[in-house]
Amino acid sequence: MTVVSVPDAGTSPAGLTRRTRVLRRLRRNPLAVVSFTVLAIAVLIAVLAPWIAPYSVEQTDFTNIFSPPGTPGHLLGTDDLGRDVLSRIMLGARASLEVGFLAVLTSLVVGVPLGLAAGYFGKLDAVIGRFTDLLLAFPFLILAVGLAAIRGASLGNAAVAIGIAQIPGVIRVIRSDTLRLKSLDFVAAAVVDGASDLWVLVRHILPNATSVILVQATVALPAAILAEAVLSFLGLGIQPPDPSLGTMLATAQQFATQAPWAATFPGLAIMVLALTFNVFGDALRDALDPKGDR
Partner 1 sequence: MPRYLLTRAWHSALTLVLATIVVFLGIRALPGDPALSLAGEDRSPEALAAIRAEYGLDQPMIVQFGRYVERALHGDFGTSIRTGLPVSDMIRTALPVTIELSALAILIATVLGVGAGVVAAVRRGRPAEWVANGLALIGLSVPHFWLGLLAILYLSVATGLFPASGFVPFTEDPIGNLHHIILPAVILGTGLAAIIMRQTRSAMLDSLSADYVRTAKAKGLSPRAVIGRHALRNSLIVVVTIVGLQLGGLISGAVVTESIFGLPGFGKMTIDAVFQRDYPVIQAVILLTATAYIVINFLVDLLYSVIDPRIRVAGEAA
Q: Which residues bind partner 1 (CB under 8 A)?
A: 129-130, 133-134, 136-142, 145-146, 148-150, 165, 222, 226-227, 229-230, 233-236, 249, 252-253, 256-257, 260, 263-264, 266-267, 270-271, 274-275, 277-279, 282
- 147 vs 200, beta carbon nearer partner 1: 147
Q: What's the number of CA atoms in the CB half-sphere (13 Å) around residue 152?
A: 3
CA distances, 212 to each of 147, 149, 242 (Å): 30, 35, 35
Q: How far is the CB of 48 from partner 1 (least distance, A)?
A: 24
Contact (Cβ atoms closer than 8 angstroms) between residue 120 and residue 195: no
Q: How far is the CB of 260 from partner 1 (least distance, A)?
A: 6
- Residues 229 and 214: their CA atoms lie apart, in Å, by 23
Q: How far is the CB of 72 from partner 1 (least distance, A)?
A: 26
Q: How far is the CB of 201 from partner 1 (least distance, A)?
A: 24
Q: How far is the CB of 218 from partner 1 (least distance, A)?
A: 12
- 9 vs 126, beta carbon nearer partner 1: 126
Strand partners, 71: 74
Packed helices 18-28 and 30-52: angle between N→C axes, nearest 10 degrees: 90
- 115 vs 168, beta carbon nearer partner 1: 168
Q: How far is the CB of 50 from partner 1 (least distance, A)?
A: 24
- 133 vs 193, beta carbon nearer partner 1: 133
- DSSP code per residue over 86-119: HHHHHHHHHHHHHHHHHHHHHHHHHHHHHHHHHH
Strand partners, 78: 84
Strand partners, 74: 71
- 95 vs 200, beta carbon nearer partner 1: 95
- 69 vs 267, beta carbon nearer partner 1: 267
- Residues 70 and 60: their CA atoms lie apart, in Å, by 18
